[in-house]
Structure 1
Amino acid sequence: MGSKLCRILEDINVLIAEMHDFGLRQTFLVSNQLRQTPPVSKECRQTDYVIIDPQEIASRSRHEDKNNIIDILPGEASNVDLAVVPIVGMGGLGKTTLAQLIYNEPEIQKHFPLQLWVCVSDTFDVDSVAKSIVEASHKKHGDTDKPSLERLQKQVSGQRYLLVLDDVWNRDVHKWERLKVCLRHGGMGSAVLTTTRDKQISEIMGPHRTYNLNVLKDNFIKEIIVDRAFSSENDKPPELVEMVGDIAKRCRGSPLAATALGSVLRTKTSVEEWKAVSSRSSICTEESGILPILKVSYNDFPAHMKQCFAFCAIFPKDYKINVEKLIQLWIANGFIPEQEEDSLETIGEHIFIELASRSFFLDIKEFKGDSDYCFRTTCKIHDLMHDIAMSFMGKECVAAIKEPSQIEWLSDNARHLFLSCEETEGILNNSLEKKSPAIQTLICDNPMRSSLKHLSKYSSLHALKLCIRDTKLFLLEPKYLHHLRYLDISNSSIKSLPEDISILYNLQTLDLSNCSALDRLPRKMKYMTSLCHLYTHGCLELKSMPPGFENLTKLQTLTVFVAGVPGPDCADVGELHDLKIGGQLELRQVENVEKVEAEVANLGNKKDLSQLTLTWSKVGDSKVLEKFEPHGGLQVLKIYSYGGECMGMLQKMVEIHLFCCERLRLLSGCSAIFTFPRLKVLTLEYLLGFEGWWEIDERQEKQTIFPVLEKLFISNCGKLVALPEAPLLQGPCGEDGYTLVHSAFPALKVLKIKNLESFQRWDAV
């Protein structure tokens, strides 16, 4: 993947060069999340802004540094001893970003068959670091019961590897030497690249190869400030531009400081406001680093945004945060103020994007997995930003990733706990025996196998995440959880929820995803009228839903609805009619739905729904989709085991996936002129009756059926003879010339076809 990304970046650089030749403006986006700039906080200046990609800045400003270190690493190929190269520099200079550039360099990836990345941060427990290194490898071993150091030695034995230890703080020589003993079992030419702010640590780890990272040159710092401070090329008052140089000096060559100050200045419009920001910004020094400037950026936020970000101190450094869940945790704790015109979720998204635009959140990535509910956005927090959050939260946020001291770790001021250590339940039981903190958030990242005690001491909980391994254990009693607004017990082994969970009238989010043994929901769930988000994907044993769903009028998210055999104890799909469900929804066991055609059509017309999956338990007689006409906002349609012979009007779809529809012969029996103007992904699997494509008549001969299709996957369609006949199109040929070509898929990038027994030809040339 790293090699592919590098090739993509090379292509982008060529395009950028062409853009400059034509005088076009160069812009970069942090992620798809920020493509459309939403409204920012009302206290902030309402402008459009462009966000420079920090990787792009680093690739230009750190090009020489990158090449210098790359020359060192492969040059150690004949060195029997382990090569250790520390990168040392002040916080915010971009040490981690530089290490990422080196890590993803094609030359480095080719030279080191095994590449490993571990964020060390404050804790340098040798066994924990060794365990993290082993887990960083994609190779799976069946020796998980062996000590971590022994597993590490086996992992690297005989292989030439590159290991990055990011953000090292520990000065204990003996711990480093103990880890190094195992690392020396790697193949000849293996190397360790470390990043640290501490010169003494760099001298301990690699005294002869330490690379001191210098501050960025003024022109790069000014470029970052200008890009963050001004919304467009036409919005640069000369009197403000003149002040950029003085402000850049305060950043002392730190790109993170420049980003923070530039983002603050974006909300200011006058010279007086700029001077006020400048006067509050202490010049960075070796002692203070850039923390004073980051605090200026933090203090510029309104109170609720400060609270939202400071809460993130609950997560360990380098933790991958689920953005959707983070916003729900903000809401559960009451950090987001209500506004008449927007929902709390929408306001939370605006807060997140505003924080991200000021680099309080980094590494924003969107993921699409293989599951039916697969979309998620994740982010991380720069370690300096984490320090800012911790400085304001004090002891209110506690993150324990190894067994803490039973005396010191939990104070009476603790409000938000994150535990990912072994024996979590024992640690909590022992601590709460003598103390009674008013805990509002409890996130337990490790599975729990025994009961919690002192249950009444959890009565102040607003948000709770547990993973329960005992099938009959729930751990907490609902009667003590009246304030609970967020409950995540995903990936648990429970078979059922206690019936009295329905007394949680304030619960807004209930995540039951991937509880594979869960076979029923509470019968009186209809009384949980505050419920906004219900995640039930991955609950493979669910046979039906409890009645009364029409009472859950605030429900916005429902990932899976299981249509059971009609009866008094079973909800009908019709109960979803008036609910404003959005995002992704799967309807299972469609064969059990009464008035199937009307109810499915209603699901297709929900304006906030972007993806709909319809699943039949087995292929049977059905005509429900012959007149199916989904609304324009529904982009993705997935169909499993549909028993009809044709399917309705699907021209508005961006993605269509058809699986095991054995009787399907036609995608439409309607319009004579039939195209898919928006379709980008088409998947056809196990369509055993699918023989071919519609004929192109005279009126359609100049039209392309799939003008923007990028991905086509067809497998196990035994009767399919050919792909669609391609119309004759005009295509480029040489300078100012053209030719006529056949092309049914002019935008196609990926084609996968397999197990097509009758397939004979592809007419598209």
Structure 2
Amino acid sequence: MMSAILARSYKDLPNHHLRSCLLYFAAFPEDYEIYVPELIELWIAESFIPHTPNHTLEETTRSYVTELAQRSLVQVVCRSTAHGWIESIRIHDILHGWCIEEARQDRFLYAIDKPAGQAGASSSSSDNLISYRFSFQTLSDQILPVKPNIRSLLGFELESVSLPKLRFLRVLCIENSTLKDFSSVIAGCIHLRLLRLANCGRVVLPSSIGKLLYLQTIELRNSALDSQSQVQNSLWDIPTLRHVYLGNAFFSPPPLARSVRLQNNELQTFEYIGEAGTDLRCHDMVIFLGQMNQLTTFALRMRPNIPAEVLNIFANMPHLVDITLFRFNVLDKLPAEFPQGLRHLFLVADVIKQDPMPILEKLPCLVVLHLSGYEGQTMCCSSQGFPRLQELRLDSFSTEVWGMEEGAMPKLSHLTLQSCEKMSKLPVGLLHLPSLDHLELAYMPQISEDDSTLNELRRKGCEVHTFNPCGMFTNKPNLYIYAAAP
């Protein structure tokens, strides 16, 4: 009965593109939380998403996720505060099992969670000859049993596995695994569109990676490059490159003559986690990053510190909506110009000398702001400032007096104050925030339970959570574990 209902729901989907997207959930492990931005990149690389007039591929793909959620075919885990869209999803176990079987019967995709030849393996040799997509889980010490003509390969929890030669491969997504002889295999995958290695230990990128002329996404999150390897400069020559995530990678900006080519590419996402010892070449780095003028998402985490000059690049990035910067040393002040469409800003510094609020409050679209390091004694938010801000987190501020004019932050609903040790009492201006319904105070024992503003907020229905040194919020009846931002 349940299979018949699911089959009817599947056939009722409005087009074959959505049906392909639904069956693709068979590729993921059971009860796996799927991060939607990564799923979008996969579906686009698989060519499931049609071009729609006046919409980007990403916009169309998000509408597909919304459609599946509205039909209760996916479970929404969380939504983005900054954007309102679905951020992560899960598939019910019953639907997941149906997708695996349907995908196998249609020869759309084969999910294998045991070595070939063992009980429970879900494909046969005849299946392998026809299938173009495979997902492997919990295999170890073997060459993955696939034919060289496959187009897509996903792997989860693989240990010491080897890949065969896969010259027609378009999608390679491996998580929480260790791979053998990876570089020699990937060098021949000239049709590759997506390369994702997440939590895969040390890997070596081929020196010929610039020859992957169809590559759209490269992700190396938490997959450190081998000590003898680094991100090749030829990567930036790939004309189709749209999303770059370099985690714990040794990376130097390419020579200026080569970086000029970035002006013509479609790079939308750049995320880089830099380790100590990376060759910063500050001037070249700033020029290189500044040429990524089509970016919508920018994240930079560097040790020991991000060069302060990086802040100058944003004036030339009109499409940016997400910025993450961790961490600066000393910033005299924030730049006067941020992109006007910016919706999310996460900025951490050891010291910010000048009040950042007069600059940031003028951003008309800012929804989420996490800020750390302001050392000034006074801070002011003026009337009509932060017109769309919903979530504000201030960390390690030296502010003693926080002036807040009536009319500021009319949509703020969630405020977190952490380690603002010189703030001896909450600003009265909080009482004028019509939407504030959640206040968190972490490592701020100087704010007394008798604070008049605190008690008035409670009386008005605002949930107040205070974090004590034992690690628990002290409000009742609920207890909350507090997770500090990185």
TM-score bracket, shorter-length normalisation? 0.7 to 0.9
In the alignment, structure 1 residue 426 sits paired with structure 2 residue 337: no
Amino acid corresponding to residue 170 of structure 2 in structure 1: H
CA change 1:510–1:463 in 2 (3 A) is: same
Q: In angstroms, what is the RMSD of aligned CA positions?
A: 3.8
Contact 2:205 2:225 in 1 (8 A): no
2:271 and 2:299 in contact (8 A); partners too: yes
The match for 1:438 is 149
What is the 5 A alignment of 1:134-533?
289-290=4-5, 293-294=8-9, 296-298=11-13, 301-315=14-28, 319-339=32-52, 341-359=54-72, 361-366=73-78, 376-380=87-91, 383=94, 387=98, 390-391=101-102, 393-405=105-117, 409-410=124-125, 411-423=128-140, 426=142, 428=144, 431=145, 436=147, 438-452=149-163, 454-455=164-165, 458-467=166-175, 474=182, 476-494=184-202, 496-516=204-224, 520-533=230-243
Q: Which amino acid in 2 is paired with 1:420?
A: Q
1:717 to 392, 409, 420: 420
Secondary structure (helix, strand or coil) at the match of 1:351 reads: helix
The count of corresponding residues between Structure 1 and Structure 2 is: 430
Amino acid across the alignment from 2:396: Y
**Among candidates 435, 449, 470, match of residue 747 of structure 1:** 435
The answer to whether the Cα contact below 8 Å between 2:415 and 2:439 also exists between their aligned partners in 1 is yes
Q: 1:579 — aligned with what?
A: 293
1:313–1:599 CA distance, 2 compared to 1 (3 A): closer
The CA deviation string for residues 292-338 of structure 1, in whole angstroms up to 9 with x for no partner, is: 6446425xx43444444344444456554443333322322323333
Provide Cα deviations, 1:553-600, integer angstroms capped at 9, x if missing partner. 1111223376963369x5325544453212453464775354x55324
Pairwise CA distance, 1:677? 3.6
Alignment partner, residue 471 of structure 2: none
Q: Percent identity?
A: 23
Where does residue 598 of structure 1 map in the other structure? 312
| Partner Cα distance (1:404, 1:577) in 2 | 48
* Alignment correspondent of 2:2: 91
Residue 412 of structure 1, CA deviation: 0.7
Q: 1:646 corresponds to which letter in structure 2?
A: D
Counterparts of 1:30-179 in structure 2 under 5 Å?
90-91=1-2
Shift in Å, 1:717: 2.5
CA distance in 1, matches of 2:204, 2:341: 38
Q: Following TM superposition, by how much is the alpha carbon of 1:413 offset from its aligned partner in structure 2, in angstroms? A: 0.9
Rate the CA distance shift 1:331–1:388 in 2: closer, same or farther, 3 A.
same
**TM-score normalised over the length of structure 1:** 0.49
Task: State whether residues 531 and 552 of structure 1, in contact with CA within 8 Å, keep that contact through their aligned partners in structure 2.
Answer: no
SS at match of 1:328: helix
Change in CA separation of 1:358 and 1:495 when aligned onto 2, cut-off 3 Å: closer
Aligned-partner residue type, residue 416 of structure 1: R
The CA distance in 1 between the partners of 2:368 and 2:130, in whole Å, is 50
- Aligned twin of 1:235: none
Contact residue 545 and residue 561 of structure 1 kept, 8 A: no
Question: In 2 relative to 1, CA 544–291 (structure 1 residues): closer, same or farther, beyond 3 Å?
Answer: closer
Which runs of 5 or more structure 2 residues have no equivalent in the other structure? Answer: 457-486
Counterparts of 2:143 and 2:169, CA distance in 1: 18
Structure 2 CA distance, aligned partners of 1:470 and 1:481? 19
Residues 540, 291 of structure 1: alpha-carbon distance in 2 compared, 3 angstrom cutoff: closer
In the alignment, what sits opposite 2:355?
Answer: 646
Provide the secondary structure at the position in 1 that maps to 2:210: helix
- Flag the structure with higher helix content: 1
Other-structure match for 1:232: none
Residues 516 and 644 of structure 1, relative CA distance in 2, 3 Å threshold: farther
The Cα of 1:725 is off from its aligned counterpart by 3.3
Alpha carbons 2:302, 2:327 under 8 Å: kept: yes
Superposed, 1:698-717 pairs within 5 Å as 700=405, 703-717=406-420
User: 8 Å contact 1:323–1:379 — kept in the other structure?
Assistant: no
Q: How many Å separate the matches in 1 of 2:97 and 2:63? A: 21
User: How far apart are 1:721 and its partner, in Å?
Assistant: 3.0
Shift of 1:502: 2.0
**What whole-Å deviation, never above 9, does each CA across 1:594-648 have from its counterpart, x for those lacking one?**
4x55324445xx33x3332233443x3x334063555144244433324323214
Give the whole-Å Cα distance in 2 for the aligned partners of 1:313 and 1:553: 33
Equivalents in 2 of 1:755, 1:355: separation in Å?
A: 42
Q: Tell me, what secondary structure is at the counterpart of 1:649?
A: helix
Bigger-Rg structure (1/2):
1
Matched, 1:656 2:372: no
Give 3-state SS (helix, strand or coil) of 1:489's partner: strand
1:378 Cα offset (Å): 1.7
Q: Distance in 1 between matches of 2:69 and 2:354?
A: 49
Native 8 Å contact 1:584 1:611 kept in 2: yes
The code of the aligned residue for 2:285 comes to A
The aligned counterpart of 2:402 is 693
SS at match of 1:507: coil
Give the aligned residue type for 2:281.
P
- How far off is 1:380 after superposition? 1.3
Instruction: Name the SS of the counterpart of 2:208 in structure 1.
Output: helix
Structure with the larger strand share: 2
Q: 1:494 to 1:639 in 2, by over 3 A?
A: same
1:490 deviates by 1.2
Deviations 1:135-176 (A, max 9, x none): xxxxxxxxxxxxxxxxxxxxxxxxxxxxxxxxxxxxxxxxxx
Structure-2 change in CA distance of 1:750 and 1:339 (3 Å)? closer
Code of the residue aligned with 2:439 in structure 1: it is L
- Are the equivalent residues in 1 in contact too, given 2:254–2:288 (CA < 8 A)? no
Q: Shift of residue 356 of structure 1? A: 4.0
Contact 1:474 1:494 in 2 (8 A): no
1:163-199 deviation per Cα after TM superposition (whole angstroms, max 9, x unaligned): xxxxxxxxxxxxxxxxxxxxxxxxxxxxxxxxxxxxx
Assess, with a 3 A threshold, how the Cα gap between structure 1 residues 654 and 665 changes in structure 2: closer, same or farther. Answer: farther
CA offsets 1:642-672 (integer angstroms, 9 cap, x no match): 432321422243332222x15344445xx86
Distance 1:565 1:347 in 2: 38
- From the superposition, tell whether residues 543 and 644 of structure 1 become closer, same or farther in structure 2 (CA, over 3 Å): farther
User: 1:495/1:91 Cα in 2 relative to 1: closer, same or farther (>3 Å)?
Assistant: closer
Question: Secondary structure of 1:499's partner?
Answer: coil
- Tell me if structure 1 keeps the 8 A contact 2:245–2:270: yes
Q: Which residue of the other structure, out of 658, 662, 684, is the alignment partner of 2:394? A: 684
Deviation at 1:403, TM superposition (A): 2.9
Q: Distance in 1 between matches of 2:200 and 2:235?
A: 20
CA contact (8 A) 1:487 1:510 kept: yes
Question: In the aligned structure 1, how far is the partner of 2:244 from the partner of 2:392?
Answer: 29
Residue 354 of structure 1: CA displacement?
3.4
2:75 is matched by which residue type in structure 1? D
Distance change (3 Å), C-alpha of 1:745 and 1:486? same
- With over 3 angstroms needed to count, the CA separation of the structure-2 counterparts of 1:561 and 1:664, relative to structure 1, is farther
Asked if the contact 1:685–1:716 (Cα under 8 Å) also holds between the matched residues in 2, the reply is yes
Aligned to 1:261: none
Any stretches of 5+ residues in structure 1 without a counterpart? 1-89, 93-288, 370-374, 728-742
What amino acid is aligned across from residue 440 of structure 2 in structure 1? K
AA in 2 matched with 1:330: W
Which stretch has the larger CA shift, 400-409 or 752-761? 752-761
